[in-house]
Amino acid sequence: MTAPKKLIEVAMPIKEISAESVRDKSIRHGHISTLHLWWARRPLPVCRAVVFASLVPDPLDPNCPQAFRDSVEILLGKENNPGDPYAPYKDIPWTAVFDPMEDSLRNRLQMFIGKFTEDMQQALLHSRPSPAAGKQLSDASLIKWDNKNNEAIINKARKLIFVAHNSLQASAGSNPKSADELLKEFEELYSAVKNTETELYSLSDRHLETDTSKQLTVALNQAIESFLDRMPKVFDPFAGGGAIPLEAARLGCRTYGNDINPVAHIIQKGSLEFPQKYGKPITYSKSEFENLYGRDELKKWCKENGKHPDTENLKIEIPNRLSFDVEFYAKKLINNTENEIGHLYPADEKGNKPIAYYWTRIATCSNPSCRAEVPLLRQFYLVNKPDKKYYLSPTILDKKIDFEIAEGSCEVEGFVSKGNLLCPCCKSITDVKSIRAEIENGSRKVRLIAVIYDTPEGKRYRLPTELEQNIITPEIPLPSELLPKALTGGSIMSWGYKTWGEMFTSRQLYALQTLIQNLNLLKQELLYIEESYRKAIITYLAILIDRGTAISTSFGRWDVSREGIQSPFSKQAIPMMFDYPEGYLLGNNMGSLLNQLDWITRYIESENDYPFSVELKNASSGDKSQFSDKHLTAVITDPPYYDAIAYADLSDFFYVWLKRMLNDIYPLNFATPQTPKSEECTALKHHHNNNKNEAKQHFEDKLTQIFDAIEHQTSEIVSIMFAHQSTEAWTTLCNSILGARMNITGSWPMDTEMANRSLGLSSSALGSSVTVSCKPAQSRGYGDYKEVKKAVEKTVAKEVTELYKLGFRGADLLTACFGQAVSEFGQYNKVEKADGTEVTVAELLELARESAFNALLKGFDGDDFTKFYIGWLQLYGFAESEFDDAAKFSRVGLTINVNELFTEHLLIKKGNKQTLGNYQERIAINKRLGENKTDTLIDQVHRAMHLYAGANRSPLLAHIAAVADSPESAFWRVVTSLLELLPAGCNDHKQATGLLSNRDSLIRESKQASENKVIQGNLFG
């Protein structure tokens, strides 16, 4: 039987996914990103949407099992959902004309994934400000953050996945099960898990090994296994920060995750395994609780819960055993360390300790007659908020530079500008090369210039005391692991720093080393705990200290707008910092380990509602023996972005500390001096003899090897998320997919990288994050280029028509066409031209792009210049582009000479490149643009925009009367097309909105003005 297409191959609610994904970037407490830093982690909404849409079929596909269609009707239909929350839009809200969405099972699935609220729909329909981020998606949407633990919503998805998986597997049989039968089986399996959980977790002192606890534990594991045996198997070969496997496990799948990086693996253990396994309720008897945690902790619990510690048969109920234990032992670790080294952080006369110390590096003025030691400060603010401003006010006496703390606005320029030092004593300039040389040669003087402390009224700032300036820290060996040779976004290596240990001051190193020593002592105290659970607790304590390293380094940043400590990793690099905060790790406030602990326990408590953990492996993917042939249902992954991020290099910052804490717990994972580099699937030339081509070949070979194994191991679909913008990176990705005997079957753009869609429209069509779906393909030998070209054009034309009905426009439409175009030439081992030369993937991608462009033009009725303008706007927006692109696309279905594009100012030259001309630029060049009826439509529309923006209405009405006196005229169709494509917020969009929203009144007034003019002519003629 032919397998039906998956939903992800035919339709995705990308606008809704994009809106919630942008919101996801700002969500903090309980979010996976807050457990531990990892780079380029995918937003959870797009991951949940892609997992779900990869596992359910398109209900409109003729081969879709009837049981699944019926399940969609049962679970998402009007009858069983009061208010009909999954009804498709009455009018697609982001298009400029009335576009009702068909009420089909496919569209109900889309609305289940994500649907805009009525307020958001109205905002989009009428170009109003959008509601707050949490109010944009309906409360019934699967991908909404607020629903991640909403069992009613999540179980709808689990049921649909269960029915899809089991009905597809049974479809070859003669008696396929009905929707009701399959939904009943789901309930039985899921209820068995929930009932056994309730029984086990209500057992008093279940941590003790008794016959009852052992039986219930075995029963629960069997119930979970029985459930997972009936669910799809999902694998992420590049698990990274864990977002994809987290969402696959949340949706009830048997989930696997690989990553070659040990730091990523430890983060995954803490985010994808331990909370789901161990973050469960526990009930203790009073004696057992007191035995484990002591009398003081018992009193504390009783006080918090309104109980008396001497109550008979007192039961201590802990909602989450794991978070409770992590917090308990973390506080013990911190207190032990504070007792040992707290004297290195002196308290003030009231006994209060600072929350942070503010330091600056020092450089020597290059003027031989001055040689002042100058703090390298770019600016002097300690806090710069609208309602709160404090700054360091320099006081200079001879060559001695001191500071006072002043309140208000700072009018003094910093001592450093563009890396160069302006000496405040002699006014000489010391260039950045001289400063770099001084630091590189070992002169690394620093100075404590302010102390930050907390009060009931907020953070306050004071100058350091003499005692604070002269703290002597015992000398200890530096971590000697080497810094990377280079980083894609900049590195401190060029400033003479050689090892990771040099990133820390002596006091920071001493504090970290003491914490690690005390962690090792605590490990011995925890030996009584069952081994796998003990490993979980110790892992979180190591993650806690590891988080502390990022805020206790001499390359962090003090954020004056938020009064907070930022890690060195605001970019995928370690930039040089001239000033830095030193957080007091052992305190109680911001910058402390207790503050970091809160993020960890919140995450544990946020992801403990379901029992499905991920099976993790710290290894490179591509091993065909890891899974048997067609063992996996789906692979869903987010491969490394070519050469954009040096994951292994950056993560060594954390590895050197995790290795010191966990090498006895995970000896194999921390067996190497630093993270593996040579096998990492990236295209970083500094790992490959500084040779770009060698690095590119490594990336493509590694990716192909992994995809080749995936093709063997996967039975249904592979979905790949990719956000690198370059054509070269996309060519490499497609080469790897096609080289592994797979074919691309769909592609969807998602706004996961930026908060404003106008930014996306001003870049290339493939500039946003894109998810492509692939399937194993049976290649048909060699293809003739002419025949393949015809097939691509036909497929793309059909796709444009279908996607346009679903509301796709502009770059989104082009990108969605891309997958279908690639699928045509992906059917062949090779595509050859008439002379026998092989057509490259890069050429085929260009063909797909041209075909989409041509299909878009055919759907538009107008002159060739206007067609070009509309098509170019869809491809490039107002971004700069190469001259060759203009020549190429002027020949696609158009009769335009490329030079005419410039003489008519449709394109405006900017150096060696060009941009599309907006109405203001074109009118400025040609004051009479669009005056005549014979002028092109785009000229006439741009003139109307210019006149609409002006103060005199009469010329506008005369123009409308001459060229746009009917609502059905081509003029208004051009305005409508522009409105759907122009970046929101730009001036062209503003004028197009005004014209279209006032169309009827403008036509009416223009006719009245014409009639009045005729009457006046008759009276005075």
How high is the pLDDT of residue 190?
98
Given a cut of 60, whether residue 876 has pLDDT beyond it is yes
What's the rounded mean pLDDT across residues 199-208? 97
How high is the pLDDT of residue 760?
29
How high is the pLDDT of residue 513?
97
Residue 618 carries which DSSP code?
-
* Band of residue 890 on the pLDDT scale cut at 50, 70, 90: low
Other beta carbons less than 10 A from residue 647's beta carbon: 27
What's the rounded mean pLDDT across residues 717-728? 78
* Band of residue 98 on the pLDDT scale cut at 50, 70, 90: confident
Helical (H) or strand (E) element with 273: none
DSSP for 795-808, written as a single string: HHHHHHHHHHHTT-
Would you call 421 helix, strand, or coil by DSSP? strand
How high is the pLDDT of residue 756?
34
Q: What's the pTM value of the predicted model, to 2 decimals?
A: 0.88
| Distance, CA of 270 to CA of 812 (rounded, Å) | 36
Block residue for tokens 């004593």: 425
- Average pLDDT value over all residues in the chain: 90
Which bin fits 939, alpha (ψ -120 to 50), beta or left (φ > 0)?
Answer: alpha
Pairing of strands 742-750, 782-784: unpaired
Would you call 563 helix, strand, or coil by DSSP? coil
| Distance, CA of 138 to CA of 111 (rounded, Å) | 9
Helical (H) or strand (E) element with 253: none
Would you call 91 helix, strand, or coil by DSSP? coil
Given a cut of 90, whether residue 564 has pLDDT beyond it is yes
* Band of residue 348 on the pLDDT scale cut at 50, 70, 90: confident
- Expressed in angstroms, the distance from the first to the final Cα of the chain is 82
How high is the pLDDT of residue 666?
98
How high is the pLDDT of residue 806?
65
How high is the pLDDT of residue 727?
63
Most confident of 247-261, 781-795, 831-845: 247-261
pLDDT tens figures, 113-142: 999 999 999 998 887 889 999 999 999 999
How high is the pLDDT of residue 562?
93
How high is the pLDDT of residue 360?
98
Other beta carbons less than 10 A from residue 570's beta carbon: 12
- Closest alpha carbon to 915 in 926, 904, 907: 907
What's the rounded mean pLDDT across residues 604-632? 96
Looking at per-residue confidence, does 789 or 848 come out higher?
A: 789
Query: Could you tell me the CA-to-CA distances from 540 to 36, 64, 180, 479, 526 in Å, in that order?
Result: 10, 45, 44, 22, 14
Domain ranges in the chain are 7-169+177-277+608-612+626-645+682-755+766-777, 282-318, 322-346+471-607+647-677, 353-465, 862-1018
Helical (H) or strand (E) element with 633: strand 632-637
Cβ pair 202, 283 in contact under 8 A: yes
Phi, psi of 623 (to 5 degrees): -85, 110
Handedness of CA 106, 111, 114, 116 (dihedral sign): positive
Residue type, 1013: K
* Band of residue 983 on the pLDDT scale cut at 50, 70, 90: confident
Which bin fits 839, alpha (ψ -120 to 50), beta or left (φ > 0)?
Answer: beta
858: which 2 tokens? 């055919």
E runs forming strands in 267-330: 282-285, 315-318
Angle at 51 between CA 45 and CA 53, to 5 degrees: 95
How high is the pLDDT of residue 173?
57
What CATH superfamily is the domain 7-169+177-277+608-612+626-645+682-755+766-777?
A: Vaccinia Virus protein VP39 (3.40.50.150)
Other beta carbons less than 10 A from residue 74's beta carbon: 18
| Distance, CA of 107 to CA of 100 (rounded, Å) | 12
| Distance, CA of 551 to CA of 154 (rounded, Å) | 36
Query: Could you tell me the CA-to-CA distances from 2 to 65, 68, 997 in Å, in that order?
Result: 11, 16, 48
Q: How many residues does the chain have?
A: 1021
- Closest alpha carbon to 213 in 203, 221, 222: 203
Which spans in 565-684 are helix H?
Answer: 593-606, 647-662
pLDDT tens figures, 489-547: 667 988 999 999 999 999 999 999 999 999 999 999 999 999 999 999 999 999 999 99
Phi, psi of 452 (to 5 degrees): -110, 130
Given a cut of 90, whether residue 814 has pLDDT beyond it is no
Given a cut of 90, whether residue 32 has pLDDT beyond it is yes
What's the rounded mean pLDDT across residues 661-685? 94
How high is the pLDDT of residue 767?
35
How high is the pLDDT of residue 291?
96
Given a cut of 50, whether residue 6 has pLDDT beyond it is yes
How high is the pLDDT of residue 916?
93
| Distance, CA of 662 to CA of 670 (rounded, Å) | 8
Cβ pair 358, 450 in contact under 8 A: yes
476: which 2 tokens? 């200890």
| Distance, CA of 964 to CA of 958 (rounded, Å) | 10
How high is the pLDDT of residue 1?
66
Residue type, 484: P
842: which 2 tokens? 């890069």
pLDDT tens figures, 442-452: 889 999 999 99
Which bin fits 807, alpha (ψ -120 to 50), beta or left (φ > 0)?
Answer: left
DSSP for 917-966, written as a single string: PPHHHHHHH-TTTT-STTS-HHHHHHHHHHHHHSS-HHHHHHHHHHH--S
What's the rounded mean pLDDT across residues 761-774? 57
